[in-house]
Amino acid sequence: MFAQGSVVFFDSGVGGLPYLATARDLLPSVPMHYVADDEGFPYGTKTPLQIETLLLERMRRIRSRLMPAAIVIACNTASQVGLPALRAAHPDIPFIGTVPAIKPAAASTSSGIVGIMATERTVADPYLDDLIARYASDIEVEKLSAQKLVSFVERRYLASSEEERRLAVAPFVDSLLARKVDRIVLACTHFLHLEKDIAAYCEICGAGDVQIVDSRQGVANRLAQLVEDGTISVQEGDRSGKPKSEDCFLLTSEAPFDPAYAAWADRFGLLPPERL
């Protein structure tokens, strides 16, 4: 069913879908499949060993069934914890990780105070401290775990009202605004679905100068670069720029699936969910 030469986007759930959408804008003719590890969700509350074990098992399944040319780990927690093990286990395939966009946030801040919203695991992981030391050592960085928002996006987002989303983001944004940040880094891919809600709440709070920063464009640019220079050999198809109906949405659990995943697949122009 699946031709060789696709790019697979992998996340613990639906967080990585905006990354797939941004990559499609740059590479509209490249087949792109999406895998959500709904069986392993969430990653942010798990230990590094648990995450690494899940990732190694999921990648074996992905490679066996999809035969991808490259895999994008569209999950900050999985990237920080598991990329070294994945690259060691699969040295013949390019992995592109998702790194919190601390560097552009630090470079553009006016107040010198940057906030980071992430999962529990990402906040606790030394990798984040290393990024801060490398790219933001001369500014103040406020780290904030917003783990509850991950499940809100995965389970409630599609059926939520604007008011529900505002109430969901409010305590986390309030905490960062109280620390006088002027940049908020979304260091969990799930939070990208709430970007507009976070920005709108900042406006309500009189903090319209606060900018929301994420890494989706950087990841898409990196993928495009590897395709263009031949590092990744993809099977290109229709160049119309329209979403490709053959791009699949796969889940790791047994059917029947949560009906919300069918709605997510439709929202991003993917085929209805099936089991990986």
Structural domain spans, the chain: 7-98+216-275, 102-213
| Calpha distance 172→152 (Å, rounded) | 13
Which CATH architecture group holds 102-213? 3-Layer(aba) Sandwich (3.40)
Question: Known catalytic residue: 188?
Answer: yes
Indicate the helix (H) or strand (E) that contains 126. Answer: helix 126-135
Whole-number Å distance between alpha carbons of 232 and 179: 43
- H or E segment at 187? none
Query: 42 preceded by cis ω (within 30°)?
Result: yes
pLDDT tens by residue, 86-105: 999 999 999 999 999 999 99
Residues 103-148 pLDDT 10s: 999 999 999 999 999 999 999 999 999 999 999 999 999 999 999 9
Tens of pLDDT along 207-229? 999 999 999 999 999 999 999 99
Helix, strand, coil percentages for the chain (3-state, nearest 5): 50, 15, 35
Q: Predicted confidence band at 255 (pLDDT cuts at 50, 70, 90)?
A: confident
- Segment among 14-18, 173-177, 178-182, 237-241 with least mean pLDDT: 237-241
User: Has 205 been annotated as catalytic?
Assistant: no
pTM for this model (two decimals)? 0.93
Determine the Cα–Cα distance for residues 219 and 144; give it in Å rounded to an integer: 23
Architecture of domain 7-98+216-275: 3-Layer(aba) Sandwich (3.40)
Of 126-130, 162-166, 206-210, 242-246, where does mean pLDDT reach its minimum? 242-246
> What gap in Å lies between CA 248 and CA 271, rounded to an integer?
5
> Any idea what DSSP says for residue 101?
-
Count of Cβ atoms closer than 10 Å to residue 60 Cβ: 12
Helix (H, G, I), strand (E, B) or coil at 154: helix
- pLDDT score recorded for residue 243: 46
Helix (H/G/I), strand (E/B), else coil: 140: strand
In whole angstroms, give the CA distance from residue 158 to residue 6: 28
Two domains, one topology: 7-98+216-275 and 102-213: yes
* DSSP-assigned letter for residue 157: G
Please report where in the chains the tokens 């790219």 appear, as a residue: 135
Residue 238 clears pLDDT 90, i.e. is over it: no
Per-residue confidence band for 237, with pLDDT thresholds at 50, 70 and 90 = low
